[in-house]
Structure 1
Amino acid sequence: MTLRSLLVALDATPANTARTRIAQALAQAFDAHLIGLAPVTSQAVQSFQTAAAMDGYVAGAATALLGRAEDLAQQFHLQCRDAGLASFEAVADREPSPDTLARHAQAADLLVMGQPDPSLPNYRQALKDLEDLLLTSARPVLLIPYTHLDPLHVRRVVVAWDGSRESVRAMTDALPLLRRATHVTLVHWRADPADVSAQPALASLRQWLAFQGVEATVRDEVTALAVGDALLNAASDLGADLIVMGAYGHARWAERLFGGVSRTLLQSMTVPVLMAH
């Protein structure tokens, strides 16, 4: 199992350049084909629809939106050419994200996205779009923090396991990256010090990872913190370059009402996170 085709989402945010460079570096490392996709954002669609309704310029608004996406795609094409990538393409799509991202991601092994920036005016819509994408994407999503400007290093990885299908899916999808890491830590959190029921499963997962060429250290942690906060603390304590986790193991309405690991990481991630639903 390796990465042969990567898809990176292009946008007009300040973090786009760093995200694009990370995707290019991954494509070079895995000798993979890289697709840069510039969709029309939901926020832009809403803004232009409002303006078009007022002024009656529906066709002009649609053309302007597509023109923005085409500019981003052209910039990406030139960047890939200058970086010397062997195989790449740039696509501008008139359909709004996240639907078009999920559709194009079906033909890729990994989708590279950016964490929404809370300082930007369309933050709430961008966060909703990302949540929708995570729930509908058939492929894993690598999220890059909007503050992350450095290259992606995959030396120390924290893999969060909670017994869910989503966490095992993420672990499996991350294998190409885990095999390149020097330290992999498989972590489970529990509130009850006496509850050691997860330890046999953790031992089996450690053996399965070894069969896949990944040597992992197992930690069964007792914590009074919310799991999302415990995960962020563990990533900091271990000097992690990457977090691997399942996305939305519970219903999204429950996460929104009561909080959850996925929402905590989407809003507060400090290192890149690979998620799979």
Structure 2
Amino acid sequence: MKDILVFLSPSVCRDELSRGGQYAIALARMYRAHLSALIADIEPDLADLPPEPDIRQVGSAPRMQTSSSERLSRTAVLVQSAATDANVSCDILQTENKSVPLRERIIDRTQLHDMLIIDVRGPLEPPRKDLAEAALFAGGRPIIFVPPNTSVASHKRIVVAWDGTRSAVRAVHDALPLLVKSREVLVISVIDDKAFPVPDSGHALCRYLARWHVGAKFSTIHRETLNIGSTLLAYARQAGADLLVMGAFAHGFERALMLGSATRDIFGTRIDIPVLMSH
């Protein structure tokens, strides 16, 4: 892994780099990779908006609102400063040609990097959802979705969701740089809804990973009353995993993007650990 891209939207009033930005810098430092930061003001960061005024607080100074350009500049400074402190080479991409739609810019940039890191806060909603889908299904590279309160990228324990599909295979290979550094890999298959064409493929995957000196164990689980995405997240959370690796499936991109069930579930839920998805 030599070149990491992070997509950041500036916070409104905090002088602190987002967790996705921190995660990307830690990952770049771990792999001695270059970091590129694409910064765009696409939505208000509701978690950072100032509170409603309290009429009881007489005489308190009103909080000054900052412009989009000021927030972009401040975020660029935060990224550069944090990267310098971590001894990570970094460039900022928010000043590129604005005549090109952001969707096309993020696809183009994702194609030329090893991985994209993006913040998520709760279920993905437009416009962040649209950009994430574009990068994931047209960019050809893996994405790590990073929720708030994520610890620094350690990847001591990684859960791999396995169903023997092309996208699952792609996710495993895209995640190999992370898997080889992990202490433990748990390969799981949710077996309620589909028959696997090769019943022993989970164990075969573990044997393959062993040749990469990855200690992996395979098990099957049931989703019971949960959807498949929630089942995977719940298992990863209960296992104390630092990362969930899974394939992403969709079709009909040029007309209406039809997400596969697990991908749709993940996009629609509140992610609480980082998730690497590949298509």
User: How many angstroms apart in 2 are the aligned matches of 1:84 and 1:204?
Assistant: 39
Residues 101-116 of structure 1: matches in 2 within 5 Å? 101-116=106-121
> Would the alpha carbon gap of residues 99 and 196 (structure 1) be closer, same or farther in structure 2, given more than 3 Å must change?
closer
Give the drift of 1:184: 0.4
Unaligned runs of 5+ in 2: 45-66
Aligned to 2:8: 10
Which of 72, 79, 84 is the aligned partner of 2:82? 79
Kept in 2: contact 1:246–1:275 (CA 8 A): yes
Kept in 1: contact 2:146–2:275 (CA 8 A): yes
Kept in 2: contact 1:108–1:139 (CA 8 A): yes
Query: Which has the larger displacement, 16-25 or 267-276?
Result: 16-25
Asked if 1:264 is matched to 2:265, the reply is: yes
Aligned to 2:229: 228
Give the drift of 1:251: 5.8
Query: Which has the larger displacement, 198-207 or 162-171?
Result: 198-207
User: How many angstroms apart in 2 are the aligned matches of 1:249 and 1:223?
Assistant: 21
> Would the alpha carbon gap of residues 220 and 271 (structure 1) be closer, same or farther in structure 2, given more than 3 Å must change?
same
Kept in 2: contact 1:141–1:274 (CA 8 A): yes
Q: What is the root-mean-square deviation in Å for CA atoms of aligned residues?
A: 2.8
Asked if 1:217 is matched to 2:217, the reply is: yes
Residue 124 of structure 1 aligns to a residue whose secondary structure is coil
Kept in 2: contact 1:39–1:69 (CA 8 A): yes
> Would the alpha carbon gap of residues 98 and 196 (structure 1) be closer, same or farther in structure 2, given more than 3 Å must change?
closer
User: How many angstroms apart in 2 are the aligned matches of 1:196 and 1:162?
Assistant: 7
Amino acid aligned to 1:7 = L
Give the drift of 1:148: 2.5
> Would the alpha carbon gap of residues 169 and 229 (structure 1) be closer, same or farther in structure 2, given more than 3 Å must change?
same
Per-residue CA shift, 1:203-245, capped at 9, x if unaligned? 2211111112212100122443422122122112211110000
Aligned to 1:22: 23
User: How many angstroms apart in 2 are the aligned matches of 1:33 and 1:168?
Assistant: 26
Identical positions, percent: 28
User: How many angstroms apart in 2 are the aligned matches of 1:31 and 1:10?
Assistant: 21
> Would the alpha carbon gap of residues 196 and 182 (structure 1) be closer, same or farther in structure 2, given more than 3 Å must change?
same
User: How many angstroms apart in 2 are the aligned matches of 1:250 and 1:191?
Assistant: 23
User: How many angstroms apart in 1 are the aligned matches of 2:83 and 2:192?
Assistant: 48
Give the drift of 1:110: 1.0
Aligned to 1:89: 91
User: How many angstroms apart in 2 are the aligned matches of 1:185 and 1:71?
Assistant: 40
Kept in 2: contact 1:168–1:246 (CA 8 A): yes
> Would the alpha carbon gap of residues 227 and 132 (structure 1) be closer, same or farther in structure 2, given more than 3 Å must change?
same
Give the drift of 1:127: 1.9
Query: Which has the larger displacement, 8-17 or 177-186?
Result: 8-17
Matched residue pairs, number? 247
Residues 42-191 of structure 1: matches in 2 within 5 Å? 69-81=72-84, 83-92=85-94, 93=96, 94=98, 95-117=100-122, 123-145=125-147, 147-191=148-192
Per-residue CA shift, 1:94-138, capped at 9, x if unaligned? 2443321221122211111111456xxx94322232222221122
Aligned to 1:274: 276
User: How many angstroms apart in 2 are the aligned matches of 1:103 and 1:214?
Assistant: 32
Kept in 1: contact 2:156–2:242 (CA 8 A): yes
Query: Which has the larger displacement, 90-99 or 167-176?
Result: 90-99
User: How many angstroms apart in 1 are the aligned matches of 2:36 and 2:196?
Assistant: 45
> Would the alpha carbon gap of residues 70 and 103 (structure 1) be closer, same or farther in structure 2, given more than 3 Å must change?
farther
Unaligned runs of 5+ in 1: 45-63
Amino acid aligned to 2:6 = V
